[in-house]
Structure formats: C-alpha cells, structure tokens
Structure 1
Amino acid sequence: MVTSALGPRVLLRRLREVMAEPETAQKRLDKIVVLIAANMVAEVCSIYVMRPGQVLELYSTEGLKREAVHLSKLNVGEGLVGTIAGEAQLLNLADAQAHPAFKYLPETGEEAYHSFLGVPILRNGIVIGVLVVQNRTRRHYTDEEEEALQTTAMVLAEIIASGGLTDVARDVAADISHVRSHHVKGDALADGIALGHVVLHEPRVVVENLIAENIPKEKLRLDGAIEQLRAQIDELIDGTDTRGGEYSEVLETFRMFAHDRGWVNKLRETVETGLTAEAAVERVQSDNRARMMRTPDPYLRERMHDLDDLANRLLRILTGQIATASRGDLPQNAIVVARNMGPAELLDYDRTKLRGVILEEAGHGSHVAIVARALGIPAMGQSEGIIDVVDTGTPIILDGTVGEVYVRPSPEIEKAYADKARFNARRQAQFAALRDTPAITRDGVKIDLGINAGLLVDLPHLRDSGAEGIGLFRTELQFMMAQHFPRLDTQVRHYRGILAAANERPVTFRTLDIGADKLLPYLRQVKEDNPAMGWRAIRMALDRPALLRLQLRALLKAGAGQTLRVMFPMIAEVHEFVTAKAMIEDEKRYLKKHGHKIPAKLEVGAMIEVPALVWQLDQLLPELDFVSIGSNDLVQFLYASDRGNPRLAHRYDPLSPAVLKTIRAIVLAGQKHGVHVNLCGEMAGRPIEAMALIGLGLTSISMAPAAIGPVKTMILSADRVKLWEFMEPLLARPDHSLRETLSSYAKSAGIRLI
C-alpha cells in the first residue's frame, strides 16, 4: 500500500468537512471509511466500536460486505480486532490469516485480503474502538503508514467523544460507560454516601484545535513550549532546597523526562503528521497511557503518573489553560477527585454543592481527611488508580462508610445506593431525635460531648448536633484561607462571631497550629525533612512572638466580658507553656492599660500531643486550667509513624495497650491535680474508640459534628464501671490491638456501636 500524495493532513481536513455535513451518523461513518481508504490507498477500511459487554461491533466498512455492518462482532481478545483492543497496540501483518489470533467471519468476505493494519481508537488511554485497513497484496505497511492511521484514529476518537457523530456518540458514550465501569476500594476517611458527578481537582486540559494549518509553525510552538517547560522545572528545582529526599527525586524525574530525546522526538514526529502541537502531546500521552495501564509493574505505572503530569504541564503552556478548576463554580452534586490536596484547598469548594471527596493518596490521619470529617463531607482515600478511570462529569457513587467507589454505576447499583442513602437519612433522623438527650451512661456518668470546628460556618453544627460546646476550634483555618496575614480587627471580628454563634456554650480556641502540611502562602518557610516534627505550632509562635501576641490580643478583645478558653498546641516542655502563658498576661496588662475590657474569666490550657509531656504532668498541671489530648499527633509520635504515610496507615492501632495506657496515665494525673482533661483527636469520633476512652475515665471528648449521634448512642447503652473492670486487665497484654476484644465485649454487653 502506498499512501496518497495528498497525505494525512488533507484527510484530516476532509474528515472535518464530512462532520459538518447535515447527514445521519451512519452516513457520516460510511463517508469516513471511504475517505480513509482512498487516502491510504487501501481496498478495505473498517471501523469497529466498543459495545456493552466489551464487544467490538463492525459499525462501518468500505470493501467488506455491507450486510456485515452491525452483524459482525468480536469480544475483546477475540480475533485480530479483539487482540488490538485488548492490548491497545497496533497490528501490522503481511498475512493476517496466518496469525494465530485470526478468526474467520464468513459474513464479511475478508478472506480475499491478506495485508492487515489495525490500530486502537483511544480516548484518554481507553480503547473505544478499532480502525482497520486491508489489502489483497501480502506486505507489511511502512512506519509512515502506521503513523498516518494512528493519527487518523486519534482524530476519529476526538470527533466521536466530542459529539461530532451525534447518534454514534450516544452509543459510544454508553459503551465507554460500560467499558469503564469500575469498582474502586480504598480507605474510609469520612462517613456518608454521595451520588453525583466527578469534578477533577486538577482537570485534564481540553484540546479543541486538532488539525494543523501550518506544520512548521506548530513545530516552533512545540519547541517553544518544551523550552518553557524545562525552564519552569529548572526554576522549581533551583529555587527549592532539594538536598536529598523523595521531593528532590520527584523534581529530578520531571527534569529527566522533560529532557528525554525520545519523548521530544516522538512529539515532533506526531506534529509532522498534521496535528497541532497540543493534539500531538495528547496523542503521544494517550498512547503511553494505553501501554502503561496494562503493565503489572507498579514502578512503570507510577512513571505513567509522572508522564501525565509532564504532558499536562506542557498542554497548559500550549493552550494557556489554568491548572485548577474554578472551585467556586461547582455543578450540583459534585464529587471532587484528586491525587491529594491540602485542607485549605478543600475549603475553597462550595460546600452547598460539594457531596464528596475521593483522594488517591491521603490517609485517615491527613489534615484534609480531618477537615472532610469536620465538614460532614463523605471522603475516601488510598483510592489507587481512580484518576485514570474518570473525567469531569463522570457519574460516580462514593460510599465513605466502607471505602468504596462505583464509577459509572449500573442502574441496579445506583438504585441500591439511593435506597442506602435514604436509610442513612432515616438513621440521621434518629440521631437528631437524641439531640437534646444528655449523654449519660447507664451507671449515671455524664459525658460532655463537644465538636471540633474551624470556621464560622461550622457553628450551625453545634446546635444541630446537640453538642455542649466546641472542644477544639482550629484558628489556623482562617489564616490558611486568607491572602495575607489577618489584621487585628479582622481577627477580633472573626472570634467575636464564633463566640456569639456559640451562644454562651464553651469554645476552646487553639492558637495557630501552622507548619507541617498546614502552610500559609504569605509566610515563607524553609523546607524540612520532617515537617510534622519540625518548626510548627508553639515552636513557630515562640520564635515569632509578634504573630502570637497579635492573635492573643485579638482573642482577649473578642472575649471581653465573657469566659475565654485558650490552649497552646504542640507543647513539649513546661517552659514552653509558661512562656506562652506569660504572653497572655502581658497582653491582658496592655489592654487594661489602654482602657480595653478583658474577659470576665480566662482559662488557659495546653494540648498533650508530644509524648515527652506525659512525663512532666506533675510539673505542668499546676500551671494550667485544663489539658486536651491531641490523639492524632500523640499516637503518631508514640509510634514514630507518619500518619500521612499510606504504607503506615494501618500499621499501628490507637486501640493498642500502649496508647490506652498513655491516655490512662494522663487521666489519672488530671484527677490527682484536679485539672479537667478532654480529648479532641479523631479517636473520639469513632464509637468503639470513644467507648474505650470512656472506660479509661475520660468524661469530656470532642469530635466531628457527624459523630455526635453515633457516639451518644453508644454512651447511652454503656456502663462505665463494668467497662473499666473489663478493660483494666487488658492493658497489661502485649497485643498489637484490643479492637476485636473490645468489639466482642460491646456485643455481649449490649453496647451499640453504630
């Protein structure tokens, strides 16, 4: 076969002309196969489309028998066409009938043809069809002919996916939905069920202009964009402290790929086939994805993500499209999908439309997971590969209770989950009925239940949940959402609004806990190898006293004439607390001196989250009014286990004897010194963990608002004295976890763990 002198560029333009004609979808396809056959000097051209059940159906042909259209079908993996679809790779055969995968379909009349060239029709690396040309003469097609057919297939995929073939587009959309139906399992980060449509946190770049008008100009555009990409990556590396560590390796990987000659040469060759620079990038990356998605090697699959990132950066340069979605303009019932994100990024989204969050990498203890639970947004993490199988607008169901996602669910699954969502709504109604019921155990012990919050809009949860106060108010969220450090009057208004909305219920303000993964865009910070144990929270505040003094002054002014509770995070030694407490006294004197009213009552406390502080309680507790156990950091520091590391997410259990004995020691120290002890970590929000905490002697815990109902239900069915009698000997065990033992006890004792 010899390609036409007109070449693929003319074919691409003719395809566009055909699509603009007022014809039925079938007639358009019939014209397309004629055009391709003529341009490629082929005696046969056929288009197969993926149908439900992973069946490839002959949709149009030039050269085979017309009566075979819509009759001839092959399963994926069956015959030559099925082999191409299954492997997402082309087949170039001089004698097709001699190939072991060849399957004779008598209705087609293809026995007269020997030469065979077939390529997959790919959309984002997913096979949606197969394009084939055939000739009678036995010969291998040239590299140029392979390239021409692949380019044509890429444009055909874009035409179908964009709706250019209206009737077929509906069928193919349904087919892709079936082919790409997926059930993805991960970690349940925040309870709840969400039915909606995907919004990609980092959406794929939309390529609208596919066909080049001026190939030399497109090559110059591509070369310029590649140079710009390389400069961006060089600037990123050169402007960052990258001495060792994974971060450095990631950046160097980007640099390596950006300078890879094979990749760049492939892009330039693809432009020469008649595509624009951006279409060439998309086609090369789609080919790479199709290949790498089918490899079992996790290292190669991870490189696919690297190449995706690199290609998207290059596409954004070429198209001028922004990197992130407009988060304030969400569609209804949006479910955001991302590799990972910070807590402030989640807060950017319109919560009236946001129904759920799915993350590839985040673990249960990550701050974005904590924020999702605080907001009552169903969330799932460790969702490996989810980004590979969705696009913006993809129908999706998220079960944040068990950690499962259904991509393009069947009607049966959708109905089942709609019923489940209604059941959950009824269960929430039952919890709501307990709103005004005190949380008192069966043996008469009152348990104070508070919520964790971080923004003024969280305050309705205080009323709706029936909580008795805010056990932890994260003041840093206001700072993370701001474009610059909030001024004194701005902070005062914010804190006054919180106290007013709490309506005399107690609010415990935690001073700024920034650093680690909670960064302020306007505050320069040096990269640290271990940020969770680095310059953060009270350490930063004491080194930058002006920031802490400004916040303390704002809190004191906001609490004028009222009860104000302030606690300092990340205290590691008594001296740090004493120093911070002295700043409060200085600010009180300053305000009095200048005629300002101060709080009628001031209570100052500390968070116990650094294990070293457990051995200083006899010195610390006489200095303060209350303590709050931050179980998230306390557990990770006890085990030297990064709570955000997916490999360690399930390695250590907070219901281990070591953790429970530590919490028991803090409770006993509080009783000894007459100091109130609260726990505000994630342990408090899960009924079985909350049960253990109450057994240990805690009478005050705070949690995400959505957890109040299940935890209160547990408390009302528990007997604390009997619970402790059961638990006390368990603490001496060398067990990895007491979870199953406690769960069995709850069942036998009639304690409701919902």
Structure 2
Amino acid sequence: MLKTLRDITQAVAAATSLESALSLLVSQTRLAMSTQCCSIYLVEYQALSSEAAATLTQTFINQTSSISHQSTPSEPVLVLSATEGLAPSSVGRVSMPITQGLVGLVAEREEAINLADARLHPRFKLFPEVEEEEYRAFLAVPIIYQQQVLGVIVVQQADLRQFDEGEEAFLMTLAAQLAVVLRGLKNKAAVTNVQQKVVFKGTMAASGIAIAHAYVLGGAIPLEQPQLRCQDPVVESLRLNSAIVRCRDSISSLSQKFEREQANEVSSIFSALLSLLDNESLAGEYLKEVSQGWQAETAVSRVSLNYIQQFMAMADPYLKERANDIRELGQRILRLLIEPGRLALEPDKPVILVAKEIDATLLAEFPRQKLAGIVTELGGVNAHAAILARALGVPAMIGVEQVLATDIDSQLLVLNATRGQLLVAPSPAIINEYRNLISIDKAKQKQFQDELANPCETLDGHKTQLFLNAGLLSGLADDVVQGADGIGLYRTEILFMLHQRFPSEQEQIKVYRQVLDAAGTRPVVMRTLDVGGDKPLPYFPINEDNPFLGWRGIRLSLDHPELLLMQLRAMIQAGGVGTQLQILLPMVSNLDEIDQAVGYLEQAYQELKSECDAKIVKPSIGIMLEVPALLYQLDDVATRVDFVSVGSNDLTQYLLAVDRNNPNVSALFDSYHPGILRALKRALDDCRRLGLDISICGELAGEPLGALLLIAMGYDKLSMNHASLGKINYLLRRVQRDELRVLLDTVLRLPNGQQVRAKLIEFLTQQELAWLLE
C-alpha cells in the first residue's frame, strides 16, 4: 500500500502540467482501488453578485489562499477537473457551489463521506451531463493544505456497497500527500496564464514595497527541457564536459566529507552518483546525444527521462528506486548548465531576489544597490536573514509557498511586503498605483527623519531612549547613528559570517573600534558571538535536529574558550580607557554560564593589563533575557551582571514553543500573545525592584504597537533597526504614557494576540495615528 501511494504521488509530482497531473491521478487511483470511476474537483473562485456576497458564509470569508486570480469578491466553486469514468466532455464544464451536492458537502464539512447509495442522501444532486446515473457507491475525501480546501477526490461504483475502512484510509492518505503537490501545480498553471493577475501571499519579514524583475536563485530545474538542436556540437560538448567535471568535483567533496565523518551509508549514496558520471554510464550517454546534434540541456533531459521511464517500469523495487538517482543527477547537471555561478552574474539593475531560503552571508554579499526586495519560500520573520533585511531597509517576504515551482524568473513583480503580497506580471495601472504608494511612503520617511533630532518624550513628559540594532559597518554611517541614543545591539556574528575563517584578534579589534568610533561618545552594547540556530557559519557547520534548542550562543562560546577569550580581548582593547563599551552574553540559560563567562572576561582583562602599556577599562557585562527559566532567577542574575537586555524574538519562540523559522507554524509566533506581554512586564518589574538596568532589543521594540505596550509597561530603553527609529520617535511624542497604562491593563486581560492588536489599533485610530501602520 505504501509503495502504491508513493508511486502515485511521485507520478503526479513529476507531471509537467496541472492537466496531466490530474489525469494521472484519477487513472492511477482508479486502478489502485479497483473501482469503476475516479474524479477530482478543484476549488476555484468566481465573482459574486452583491446579493451572493452578502450571504456568503463566514467560514469561507475567513479562508485565505496563497494565490488568487482576481481582486473582486468571490465565492468558492467546485469544478470537475479530471475524471476516468464520467463523461470526458463534462471536464471543466460542470461546477457547483460548495453549498450544493455531495461533493460540495465534503468541501463544506472538510471531512470524508462514504455512502453505499449516494442517491438516498438529501444533498445528492444529479448532473445529467456527467453521465453518472449507473453509480451508487460513493466515497469522497477533501484535499486540504494548511486548513484550506483545494479540492475533492471521489471514487464511485455501480454496486450498492460501502467502501471499507482500508479503502477509505487509502484515499485519505493519498489526498493528504497530494495537497502540497497540487498547490504547486495550481500556482504554476496560474503564473503561466498571462490573462490572470496572480497574487502570491506570504508573511512580511521587512516592510516596504518594491517594483522590479524577479531574480530566481535555486529555482526548481525541470528535467523536461525544450528539444533544441545545437549549431556547434564541439562547443556544446565543451559546455557539457565542464558541467560534468564541476558536478563530479562537488559530489566527490560531499562523499569525502561523509567518509571523514564515518557516515558510510550517506557516503555510499554519493559514490553511486559518482559512478553514474563515468563515461561508460550516463555521462557518456549525455555526450553521445550532443554528438548527434542536440543542445547540452536537451541531451541531459532526453537521456534522463528515457532511463527514468525504463527504471520505473521495472518490477524490482531496488532498480525502480534508481530512477530517483538518475533524476537527481540530471537536475544537478542541468543547474550547472542553466545557472553557472548565478551569484557571480551581478544583475544590471535592481531585482527582487527569489529563493528557497536566504542566509545572512548571501544578503551581505549581494550588491545592495541591486537588491530591491527579497522573497523566500522558507524562513521566519525573526530569522537572522529577515532581521538583516530590515537592517538594510530591503522589503522582504517569507513563507511564499511553491513560488519556485512557477516560472517567474525575469518577470516583472510588485512586492508589497507590508501586506504580504507578491504580484506577478501586474498591469500598467497597478504598477502606477504602487509607484504612487512608494512616493507617499518616501514622503512619510522624510517627515520622520526631519523630526528625529527631537528628544523622544511623551506628551506627559516620560523620556525614552531609542537605540540602534546593527551588524554591518555600512549601517553605521554618521547620519544613521546621529538619530539614536547609542547602539543597543551590535551583532558581532555578522563579522564572522563574512569571513571564510574565524577572524583574528587584530581583525576584530579593527572592526570593533570602527563601531565605537561611529557611535561617538554614546554607549555601545556588543553581543558576543551568537551563532547556531538560524545563524550558521559556512566554515563551522553545526548539524542538529533541533538547532534552536541546541549548540548556540554562549553555549558554543563556552565550549570554545579560545574563541571567546580572543573576542573578549579584542573588545576590551577596542574599548580602551572609556566606559562606552558594554558586553552582552546571548542565549544564557543558567547561572553557571554567567559565572564562567564573567570568569573569562576577568581572565582576558588581567592578561591585557599585564601585556599592554596603555590603560584599559573592564567593560560592564550583561545577559540577553531569552530563555524563560531566567525569568525566575533574576534575583540571582542581579548579583552577577550589570544589565539585562530582553531578546523578545527568542523569548517569544521559547515561551510559545514555536520554531520562528518554520512557515507551517509561523502564525503561532505572536509577540502580542498576552502570555508574552505578561512575561515582559514581569521582567521589567523584577529588574526595577532589584535595581538592575533593563532594555529590550527584540523586533517588538521597533513596531509601533509593540513600542506603545513597552512604554506602558515602563521600559525606557528600546533598541531597533534604523528604519524604525524615526517612526517610533514620531509616535511616542504624540501619546500620553498615563493613557497607555490604562490601555495596558485592558490588553493584558484579553485572551489572544489578535484581540490585543485590535485594541491597540482602536487606540491609534482614536489618536488619529493609525496611518503609521499603513
């Protein structure tokens, strides 16, 4: 049964179009279940009349899809999209609202229906054009992806009998496995249809709007390539040979890596792929096709598809599985032919970078003047790359499902990251509308910037210090730092990410001095190396099942005291005799870690005192409050450190047990969850009671709604990205803290973050400040 499920899913996934995929699905499912009829209905949306819009059920009003085809109000309908057993002429012509028929009932209830005689059910509706009069037995299962019904798969028989439990379980399992595949195929079909306006949806990682062409990195390379002849077989052979050699070198490096790690089973996989690259195997077949006049891409495609078909037809399970090896190798070679060193090909004008996932190193290396926006399938709003995008002021959107499965490379895009929308090939009217929005936004930013020099003080006299979060020297220009009261978080790990090895002590001293000089006499909080989790170093890989619960932050530094001591020495020397520098320890989870780190700071300080003629000062030291356990040990923490900085991103992640980089649960990551707000309030109250200085450097501080809550709680040191400084300053100088305290008492009693936001927006609306959220 598992083999049958896998074969059907793989066949559908390998299809080149939605139509062929659905045709394969119904034919193979009918055979697998030995039934007379199998059909699939897909949910589509059609425009509503004003009367219909008024009566549309709230359930479907609240549903959102990752792709839509019109902006007018619409209702879901089920369209017969493929069948084997019903009249072929009815495909695409028969449709029904989900409020009608048995198939509609399955979609409406989001559950399977299994009937011995469908005609006896009150929701049975006969469509004469489908010619289903002979069928009685009826089993239908919804295809659901992330709470959204994509369609319904139906099997029918003439016999009066109920499908058994095994058959029902098989169809439900198949539907669950196919959901992701069908979503991607529907998206691809929509993008290739230029008559439709296509809107992908995702989650904002960095606000803003961008209009530019797509620049796809790591997109899906299909094996099905155009059948093109070449003009010069010798030139094509050289291209192909170069790709084969580079592929062989890459696989060989991977194989050797796993051999060194004694991961023999993994190493054998790469050894098998290497053997396929011999001239006596696939590589020779590729070159043979080129010698017969085919283009290199076409040659790889023809050979791969031919052998895949042969191996898939074999009865032996082991030999059938080798088809996957041929597919993987073919796609590797095609990528080297189609995208040879894509990153090295700098675009000639600003682009919207589209990728599976983007790390901080890639963003730091990509030419800033050529980066208009970022779109990824994976990642989280508080992943390091997203934080860096906000620091760079680049609009970014994450969790855009299946975008790489579509052909959007080089297409004109409008990225409205603020609303979580990506428009593909928009009309000239829409482009003009968005250009107007960009002009309006620039005018707002100028207004904020013009007032940034004013002290941040509420209408009733409460003063707040606004600090800067930074990680790149390019983000510390004089005009940037001048608008802040200091640097509240300098992420030293970005320096480590930009090197191909650990930076030396002298290299670190040079950078840290530049950071301190940029701040003038204002305070600078430098965080020690914080890698692991979503922040790997390319030359120091960490492979863990649960990286956010693993070897990261201070844990890694304490396990490598040679690295920690070098960094502490560099910081102390850069700080010199001033008191400007403060050192921050990340990911602290227990008191022993604080004691060890403080001991290493003392060791570094004493070593330098004996080595250096110049006078030096030991910096103050603090911890990031990220691990919830320390919320209950602040009395002990206060005897060991000078200050606390709340990292609201990780604190939220750990309190809610949500991987902030996982789009499947990204909706659960909510910094406005009342439980999170109460934890932040408790941290502040305890620190004030203990006389322990406290600030907050998480993303919440740079959000207008978040800043209101933090000021209401009593926080008076907020650290944020430069793009947020002007807006937060503008906002806080137009509200009263006493009113905010009353508001806080109300929101802390609310049951969820959605209601908290609604209450805060209501407050801003009353103050005529809601436009700051647009």
Per the normalisation by structure 2, the TM-score is 0.65
Aligned equivalent of 2:543: 527
Aligned equivalent of 2:471: 454
Instruction: Say if 1:216 and 1:322 are closer, same or farther in 2 by CA, change over 3 A.
Output: closer
Residue 439, structure 1, aligned to residue 456, structure 2? yes
1:313 pairs, out of 310, 329, 332, with 332
Measure the CA separation in 2 of the matches of 1:197 and 1:215.
31
Instruction: Say if 1:702 and 1:209 are closer, same or farther in 2 by CA, change over 3 A.
Output: farther
Aligned equivalent of 1:335: 352
Q: Is the 8 A contact 1:180 1:407 kept in 2?
A: no
Aligned equivalent of 2:766: 748
Residue 196, structure 1, aligned to residue 212, structure 2? yes
2:388 pairs, out of 363, 371, 375, with 371
Residue 553, structure 1, aligned to residue 573, structure 2? no
Shift of 1:471: 0.8
Q: Deviations over 1:427-448 (max 9, x none)?
A: 1111111110111112211111
Q: Deviations over 1:86-119 (max 9, x none)?
A: x9x9xxxxxxxx9999xxxxxxxxxxxxxxxxxx
Aligned equivalent of 1:573: 590
Instruction: Say if 1:311 and 1:373 are closer, same or farther in 2 by CA, change over 3 A.
Output: farther
1:544 pairs, out of 554, 557, 560, with 560
2:655 pairs, out of 638, 657, 673, with 638
Instruction: Say if 1:435 and 1:309 are closer, same or farther in 2 by CA, change over 3 A.
Output: farther
Instruction: Say if 1:647 and 1:242 are closer, same or farther in 2 by CA, change over 3 A.
Output: farther
Instruction: Say if 1:592 and 1:278 are closer, same or farther in 2 by CA, change over 3 A.
Output: same
Residue type at the aligned position of 1:446: K
Q: Is the 8 A contact 1:215 1:274 kept in 2?
A: no
Q: Is the 8 A contact 1:357 1:377 kept in 2?
A: yes
Aligned equivalent of 1:488: 505
Shift of 1:632: 0.8
Shift of 1:391: 5.3
Shift of 1:712: 1.9
Measure the CA separation in 1 of the matches of 2:544 and 2:661.
16
Measure the CA separation in 2 of the matches of 1:461 and 1:664.
34
Aligned equivalent of 1:235: 255
Aligned equivalent of 1:299: none
Residue 184, structure 1, aligned to residue 200, structure 2? yes
Q: Deviations over 1:616-650 (max 9, x none)?
A: 10000122111100011111111111000001111
Q: Is the 8 A contact 1:609 1:631 kept in 2?
A: yes
Measure the CA separation in 1 of the matches of 2:335 and 2:213.
24
Residue type at the aligned position of 1:608: L
Q: Is the 8 A contact 1:608 1:614 kept in 2?
A: yes
Which secondary structure state, in structure 2, belongs to the residue aligned with residue 622 of structure 1?
Answer: coil
Q: Give matches, 1:228-307, under 5 Å.
A: 228=248, 235=255, 238=258, 274-282=293-301
Shift of 1:285: 9.0
Aligned equivalent of 1:385: 402
Residue 346, structure 1, aligned to residue 363, structure 2? yes
Measure the CA separation in 2 of the matches of 1:565 and 1:473.
10
Instruction: Say if 1:371 and 1:440 are closer, same or farther in 2 by CA, change over 3 A.
Output: same
Q: Is the 8 A contact 2:219 2:405 kept in 1?
A: no
Measure the CA separation in 2 of the matches of 1:499 and 1:648.
39
Q: Deviations over 1:369-403 (max 9, x none)?
A: 11100111111111223334445533222222112
Q: Is the 8 A contact 1:557 1:597 kept in 2?
A: no
Residue type at the aligned position of 1:644: N
Q: Deviations over 1:105-141 (max 9, x none)?
A: xxxxxxxxxxxxxxxxxxxxxxxxxxxxxxxxxxxxx
Measure the CA separation in 2 of the matches of 1:273 and 1:287.
16
Instruction: Say if 1:390 and 1:550 are closer, same or farther in 2 by CA, change over 3 A.
Output: same
Instruction: Say if 1:229 and 1:555 are closer, same or farther in 2 by CA, change over 3 A.
Output: closer
Measure the CA separation in 2 of the matches of 1:512 and 1:685.
23
How many residues are treated as equivalent by the alignment? 561
Instruction: Say if 1:273 and 1:473 are closer, same or farther in 2 by CA, change over 3 A.
Output: same
Measure the CA separation in 2 of the matches of 1:398 and 1:686.
20
Measure the CA separation in 2 of the matches of 1:448 and 1:705.
14
Aligned equivalent of 1:666: 683
Residue 210, structure 1, aligned to residue 230, structure 2? yes
Shift of 1:452: 0.7
Measure the CA separation in 1 of the matches of 2:326 and 2:435.
38
Residue type at the aligned position of 2:212: G
Instruction: Say if 1:179 and 1:600 are closer, same or farther in 2 by CA, change over 3 A.
Output: same
Instruction: Say if 1:659 and 1:217 are closer, same or farther in 2 by CA, change over 3 A.
Output: closer
Residue type at the aligned position of 1:679: I
Which secondary structure state, in structure 2, belongs to the residue aligned with residue 420 of structure 1?
Answer: helix
Residue type at the aligned position of 1:280: A
Which secondary structure state, in structure 2, belongs to the residue aligned with residue 443 of structure 1?
Answer: coil
Measure the CA separation in 2 of the matches of 1:242 and 1:637.
34
Q: Is the 8 A contact 1:591 1:598 kept in 2?
A: no
User: What is the aligned-residue RMSD (CA, Å)?
Assistant: 4.3
Q: Is the 8 A contact 1:718 1:751 kept in 2?
A: no
Which secondary structure state, in structure 2, belongs to the residue aligned with residue 647 of structure 1?
Answer: coil
Shift of 1:736: 5.2
1:426 pairs, out of 429, 433, 443, with 443
Q: Is the 8 A contact 1:605 1:628 kept in 2?
A: yes
Residue type at the aligned position of 1:433: D
- Find the structure with the greater CA-based Rg: 1
Q: Is the 8 A contact 2:229 2:293 kept in 1?
A: no
Residue type at the aligned position of 1:748: Q
Q: Is the 8 A contact 2:469 2:490 kept in 1?
A: yes
Aligned equivalent of 1:497: 514
Shift of 1:342: 1.0
Instruction: Say if 1:646 and 1:240 are closer, same or farther in 2 by CA, change over 3 A.
Output: farther
Instruction: Say if 1:615 and 1:660 are closer, same or farther in 2 by CA, change over 3 A.
Output: same
Measure the CA separation in 2 of the matches of 1:330 and 1:419.
25
Q: Is the 8 A contact 1:390 1:407 kept in 2?
A: no
Measure the CA separation in 2 of the matches of 1:670 and 1:533.
26
Per the normalisation by structure 1, the TM-score is 0.66
Shift of 1:407: 2.4
Q: In structure 1, list runs of 5 or more residues that go unmatched.
A: 1-86, 90-97, 102-174, 289-304
Measure the CA separation in 1 of the matches of 2:382 and 2:208.
17
Q: Is the 8 A contact 1:509 1:565 kept in 2?
A: yes
Residue 612, structure 1, aligned to residue 617, structure 2? no
Aligned equivalent of 1:74: none
1:711 pairs, out of 699, 709, 728, with 728
Q: Deviations over 1:590-616 (max 9, x none)?
A: 111123435457221110000111111
Residue type at the aligned position of 1:537: G
Which secondary structure state, in structure 1, belongs to the residue aligned with residue 555 of structure 2?
Answer: helix
Q: Is the 8 A contact 1:660 1:696 kept in 2?
A: no
Which secondary structure state, in structure 2, belongs to the residue aligned with residue 646 of structure 1?
Answer: coil
Which secondary structure state, in structure 1, belongs to the residue aligned with residue 633 of structure 2?
Answer: helix
Q: Deviations over 1:47-100 (max 9, x none)?
A: xxxxxxxxxxxxxxxxxxxxxxxxxxxxxxxxxxxxxxxx9x9xxxxxxxx999
Aligned equivalent of 2:378: 361
Measure the CA separation in 1 of the matches of 2:551 and 2:446.
44
Instruction: Say if 1:599 and 1:430 are closer, same or farther in 2 by CA, change over 3 A.
Output: farther
Q: Give matches, 1:402-417, under 5 Å.
A: 402-417=419-434
Residue 326, structure 1, aligned to residue 347, structure 2? no
Residue 724, structure 1, aligned to residue 744, structure 2? no
Q: Is the 8 A contact 2:236 2:295 kept in 1?
A: no
Aligned equivalent of 1:79: none
Q: Is the 8 A contact 1:432 1:465 kept in 2?
A: no
Shift of 1:588: 1.4
Aligned equivalent of 2:674: 657
